[in-house]
Structure 1
């Protein structure tokens, strides 16, 4: 039946389709059950020595305190967003839909927070157990890796389980109005994820950069040496950034892609379009379970990455086959059976137009495009960031000529990889678009289904990502405790190197999901605008309104690209400021407590944790306000066409910027690991110092600014989607109100200007008068445990 012949709220959900949605909800609960079972299995493993437990306990305490403080800060944003969301008009549905949208905004935010928090809580307990397992003799490599990966599996199961459960419940309750309600669900998830990504990224990289600059470069001590006051904060940061932040990021990608697929699916496939986008993620839940449990390290495997890649590609293949079978069995074979006799009208085709591909074939190819895209991005990212590949090897060789060439080589590799990744993602998007055969609605739905197909692998992807910080923390606990043998240390070093690569790979895949989700949301935006224009009885065509040759729209495109650069700059600058404060604090402790270096005095770890926590909460406000308010300023100020161009500019610039930042940072990190493993002089050499500097530049690239662009794109798309009816109504509709529209735009712009002005007035480096005096007058040289030379004094005065 044609969707156009029924109001959204009247769109039926018949017996068999109702059963499919219920099955999807049940399987989502099964995923949550598996998560609970894996939690018990992980916590039942050995916890190591008393000293290892004390170190892990300090990391747990710091991570938990940070996350609770962050949630208190974000609670204010959630309350304001709920009120504003309720006040915004909707194209379809009445008061119940507006209430549902606001209520499920809170649900999405809570789910995002819970996944991030639960993943971090388990990761801070699993890291200790991985370190203990690595110290158990023969078979320790296999046991340590299994604990780390299955901990990541818990987070993966929570992601797919809660995402699918939330979407299924909304469809069951609201039926045809479900896409509108799910806008709130996706927005809540995306908003929390963005703040957690930015805040966690600032915390982790401020601690990491500060620890490396003073510990490795100035004092010449190992990365996780307990004499470094920033080590606990560094390990805390791995969890609040990579575990909590990344888990929330991938959850919101999952939720937002489902939102776009259901909005476009209702228009393209009618009733079937409300169900099929749930069937594919349901298959993804099953393959996630398979993928996690088949990830086993064989004796013949060169390293853990071999086992992880094998499991990923097997689960991706299973997803492709099962999705194809489901599409063929579920969807009608003819367009008339799917949408009724008026199917051409429903798809925006001419009366004589025909589609060469049947509905199941369109769906099958779209889903497979997404799965193949994930596999290609994994291979491509791995090439640019793995230790034994030429790009990282080249950066390692460049360290022989100093830090400047290391930085240049990393930037070059980042730029090059961004081009290839953008071409691959663009090919995937365009390939899905071609499936529409001239129907824009169908083409956009195919893109959304490609994103859904990619996310059938998200359970394994999240496990891969969480594996990284757990391995990193395990090595840190082992090194700080000093209670692990040489073989155990080698196992943890190998796992850490694999974790660096898996983190880079999952960031690449997360970027691909962000682009597909943002593109699909862009299609949802145009669909929403078209409905609003029809409702407002506007005669001008949508194509005319969105024409980029209009100077107003071109300005919007430039603004969209500029916001990506500005957002990235704010995030990196925040890390720079906070890292400066950490550097001064660690130097102060080395200077004021001379017994630290010989082990007779204990560093004040809590001071650095407090600095990072304070700065992360303070610094995330401005980027967050920019992401939410910039689309409002452009939309109400320049109009609906300029806002569409703004989103296009942001997606284009964001794709390239995110890949560049992630891959250059990952390559620098593994080049440092390669030197530490003995290449080109090993630890303590000039080459090592050069790669440490490259890594400190790359840290905020790959773990703060780069990953934060993913939720940024989706937040801006969702804000635009939510305000589109109001922008149309106040600019060209029957309720046209130019003064009110301009007032909203000016107010949004004014808030951004005030926030940026306050941000720019903060000093580049936070230091006390005593620190500056010590750097100016005391001036000891690097390596003697006190403040640095007069060059630091100049930096402190900035």
Structure 2
């Protein structure tokens, strides 16, 4: 008991830390033990050892990729100013984050693999249990290290926790990059070569890419999703503590710890909520089953904060975290003054706040901010911010759910327009996806506007409220635990179509909730970066001082930071798209080879793990090194604009591409159900091609953008001390520019490595072949239509076109009394 009663932050914090750590350990143990106790059909064909081995292989590739960029990054953290002990702790915490990300992904594999052998009727009952165990373990793996760090480091835990979160974000980014190429290769194989070219069912065993599609689905919805949840939880908790302590003292630690513990409990409670409902109303059942625990969890955190926190700002425990004195020169004249001495004057000044505002300039803004903060009701503001975050997460998920549901206009319009060809169907989906992204951004901006009003416009207070809004979004993620893995369990052959549709829609919506929570965890870091810049010493010259402190919209440095952020987001996505094109094309060629006479009939994609390490080099290098390039190349004043552009741009692109992909993917199901021409029609062919396009956009941009933004925001916040110290400690400007050039050289080198992904041979000119490989040949049955020798190559081409047209007319008129059917033209005739 002495350990509790003598804890420097107070015995209530000690009990909170022990309770949250215990809850986290229980969740981790349950996630490791319970799935192995589930009843399985050991003879089920779905229980394939090769699936587990391939998932483990992909996880190894993700870990190798993360370490290749994470280890140099943690070595760079040793250069950030501070004591040697703190430098080692920061780097060690970042390494711990990388390892925790790998453990999170591994635990997800252990949860999902046992569900593969469940009978179709058992899958519905397994939805809640599997999802709850995976999400609870992922949240706990973020919560337990945070609790341990706070116990030992106490008020100094903020920066090490940001480094830990950066490590988890880097692993999540590496896992998503690895999984994205698996997604693209699998869909290219199954949909383009298997279903479109050879008219095989896209999920049938005789389609060589079908097994790869199932593997990619498990990777995306299991290990990668678990790593995402761990990274987002670590970022939200770290931001809440790092920024919260500076404003709300000890109570700034209590709220994130309580929120993290409740999130784990909510996820575990989901495991006992049945996901059955009425047959045919699966969408509503999943939505209601997720909404109830989300609202209860947010309500419980709000009620706890209202009861626990003092109603007056001066009642917070500042002394326990070293904030018992005012040190702002504007307030104290340069000498530290105890809070108790100035608080009576602050309370008197609150009555004259309007008059003070009219007399205050920018230099004395901190006086007004201090007076405004002392007038707040901490529990009320915390409760409202948590509620705002939960509402943002729920509203954005509903918007994505509407866009992804094949019963609604976006999916129907895309499927209908596919009847005219692939391009127009893709345009329809991109248009509706852009509308969804705009609506999601509008909801987020409105929520941030509410928090700005609540925080009275005080920058640090608003940042704290945004971090606590992230806690509300985190509780919604926990409440949706069942739907995070629902599609991995139910969206496969043998499940009922309504259940498959519902889980697929819920999966897209839950991904949007994660993206929004990540943004709410990253935005508070803007305040930490901005305050570090404002609090730094003046530069040695006008140019250096401008590059260090000028953060106004009229500043070229600030505008350059915004431009650099947009460039970073675009380069991350485009580098992945180029690699995806090559890997997808190679998968198509492998599938065609497998389907030739004497071919194996299976596609193993054996070199994929090696190729992904090369392909992921550029995006990871950009995420890690761009802050260094901007901070030293343009100046520290460019970093806030850079972060804002990266975070907002990542959210827009992520939601846009994810919504477009969900709409395009739903179009396949609509057409295969018999509408707009059905299987084998022009619309079906267009929908298959568009689905691969959607997969490429979602995998290369939608799933990558937000982890990349989260990683770069966290690394910038951890390294901001270096960016503001070197311009003021006499370090040569040429040395700083030299560091920026080295960072640029490293990014270029990584881009060269990514560009070394082999280009597949798609040329027709092959010397030892009489006909081009995989070429479509003219149907010999139409030879009686034309006779005579070929005069030249142009004549031959015209006759081939004529034969195809004649074959199409003959096929279209057969069985329809000569009436042409534009919607059900045969794919076989047009491909001869």
TM-score category (smaller protein): 0.7 to 0.9
2:474 pairs with one of 455, 460, 468:
455
Change (3 A) 1:350 1:117: closer
Please report how far the alpha carbon of residue 270 of structure 1 lies from its aligned counterpart in structure 2 after TM superposition: 0.7
Change (3 A) 1:656 1:351: closer
The yes-or-no answer on 1:116 pairing with 2:105 is yes
The yes-or-no answer on 1:750 pairing with 2:745 is yes
Give the structure 2 partner of residue 570 of structure 1.
Answer: 575
The yes-or-no answer on 1:95 pairing with 2:66 is no
Alignment partners' CA distance in 2, 1:652 and 1:112: 24
Alignment partners' CA distance in 2, 1:776 and 1:632: 53
Alignment partners' CA distance in 2, 1:11 and 1:18: 6
Alignment partners' CA distance in 2, 1:24 and 1:536: 48
Alignment partners' CA distance in 1, 2:671 and 2:178: 30
The yes-or-no answer on 1:676 pairing with 2:654 is no
The yes-or-no answer on 1:556 pairing with 2:535 is no
Please report how far the alpha carbon of residue 357 of structure 1 lies from its aligned counterpart in structure 2 after TM superposition: 3.8
Give the structure 1 partner of residue 690 of structure 2.
Answer: 694
- Where 1:87 maps in the other structure, the secondary structure is coil
The within-5 A match list for 1:728-743 is 728-731=724-727, 733-743=728-738
Alignment partners' CA distance in 2, 1:782 and 1:309: 51
Of 636-645 and 227-236, deviating more is: 227-236
Change (3 A) 1:747 1:521: same
Change (3 A) 1:250 1:620: same
- Where 2:206 maps in the other structure, the secondary structure is coil
Alignment partners' CA distance in 2, 1:285 and 1:453: 13
CA contact (8 A) 1:530 1:542 kept: no
Give the structure 2 partner of residue 378 of structure 1.
Answer: 397
2:457 pairs with one of 415, 418, 438:
438
Give the structure 1 partner of residue 219 of structure 2.
Answer: 240
Q: TM-score, normalised by structure 1?
A: 0.86
The yes-or-no answer on 1:79 pairing with 2:79 is no
Change (3 A) 1:749 1:290: same
The within-5 A match list for 1:219-618 is 219-298=198-277, 300-338=278-316, 339=318, 341=340, 349-350=368-369, 353=372, 357-472=376-491, 474-475=492-493, 489=494, 491-533=495-537, 545-593=550-598, 602-606=600-604, 608=605, 610-618=606-614
- Where 1:605 maps in the other structure, the secondary structure is coil
CA contact (8 A) 2:27 2:133 kept: no
CA contact (8 A) 2:31 2:133 kept: yes
Change (3 A) 1:233 1:347: farther
Instruction: Using CA pairs under 8 Å that are at least 6 residues apart, name the structure with larger relative contact order, 1 or 2.
Output: 1
Please report how far the alpha carbon of residue 81 of structure 1 lies from its aligned counterpart in structure 2 after TM superposition: 2.6
Change (3 A) 1:170 1:533: farther
Give the structure 2 partner of residue 661 of structure 1.
Answer: 657
Alignment partners' CA distance in 2, 1:781 and 1:670: 30
Q: Deviations over 1:171-206 (max 9, x none)?
A: 001001110111221111011111111111112222
Please report how far the alpha carbon of residue 463 of structure 1 lies from its aligned counterpart in structure 2 after TM superposition: 3.8
Give the structure 2 partner of residue 642 of structure 1.
Answer: 638
Give the structure 2 partner of residue 480 of structure 1.
Answer: none
The yes-or-no answer on 1:105 pairing with 2:101 is no
Please report how far the alpha carbon of residue 758 of structure 1 lies from its aligned counterpart in structure 2 after TM superposition: 4.7
Alignment partners' CA distance in 2, 1:630 and 1:354: 35
Change (3 A) 1:710 1:463: farther
Give the structure 2 partner of residue 709 of structure 1.
Answer: 705
Change (3 A) 1:425 1:469: same
Give the structure 2 partner of residue 177 of structure 1.
Answer: 156
Higher helix share: 1
Cα RMSD (Å): 3.0
Alignment partners' CA distance in 2, 1:623 and 1:426: 28
Change (3 A) 1:759 1:15: closer
Alignment partners' CA distance in 1, 2:290 and 2:376: 30
Give the structure 1 partner of residue 623 of structure 2.
Answer: 627
CA contact (8 A) 1:104 1:184 kept: yes
CA contact (8 A) 1:207 1:234 kept: yes
Q: TM-score, normalised by structure 2?
A: 0.83
Alignment partners' CA distance in 2, 1:603 and 1:779: 16
Change (3 A) 1:352 1:106: closer
- Where 2:621 maps in the other structure, the secondary structure is helix
Give the structure 2 partner of residue 208 of structure 1.
Answer: 187
Change (3 A) 1:779 1:714: closer
Alignment partners' CA distance in 1, 2:192 and 2:62: 27
Alignment partners' CA distance in 1, 2:453 and 2:768: 66
CA contact (8 A) 1:588 1:771 kept: no
Of 462-471 and 652-661, deviating more is: 462-471
Change (3 A) 1:776 1:616: farther
Please report how far the alpha carbon of residue 294 of structure 1 lies from its aligned counterpart in structure 2 after TM superposition: 0.9
**Pairs aligned (count):** 735
Give the structure 2 partner of residue 57 of structure 1.
Answer: 49
Flag the structure with larger Rg: 2
Please report how far the alpha carbon of residue 757 of structure 1 lies from its aligned counterpart in structure 2 after TM superposition: 4.0
- Where 1:636 maps in the other structure, the secondary structure is helix
- Where 2:523 maps in the other structure, the secondary structure is helix
Q: Deviations over 1:543-580 (max 9, x none)?
A: 95321211121111111112111211112222111010
- Where 1:246 maps in the other structure, the secondary structure is helix
Q: Deviations over 1:193-244 (max 9, x none)?
A: 1111111111222221222100110000011222233233222222223321
The yes-or-no answer on 1:164 pairing with 2:143 is yes
CA contact (8 A) 1:393 1:671 kept: yes
Change (3 A) 1:751 1:292: same
Give the structure 1 partner of residue 325 of structure 2.
Answer: none
Change (3 A) 1:372 1:687: same
Change (3 A) 1:431 1:120: same
Give the unaligned 5+ runs of structure 2: 1-5, 319-338, 347-363, 780-796, 802-832
Change (3 A) 1:444 1:741: same
CA contact (8 A) 2:282 2:499 kept: yes
CA contact (8 A) 2:184 2:580 kept: yes
Q: Deviations over 1:428-454 (max 9, x none)?
A: 122222221132111110000001111
Give the unaligned 5+ runs of structure 1: 1-9, 135-139, 476-488, 595-601, 792-798
Of 665-674 and 396-405, deviating more is: 396-405
- Where 1:777 maps in the other structure, the secondary structure is coil
Q: Deviations over 1:658-692 (max 9, x none)?
A: 11111001111111112222322322222211211
Alignment partners' CA distance in 1, 2:562 and 2:216: 35
Change (3 A) 1:697 1:98: same
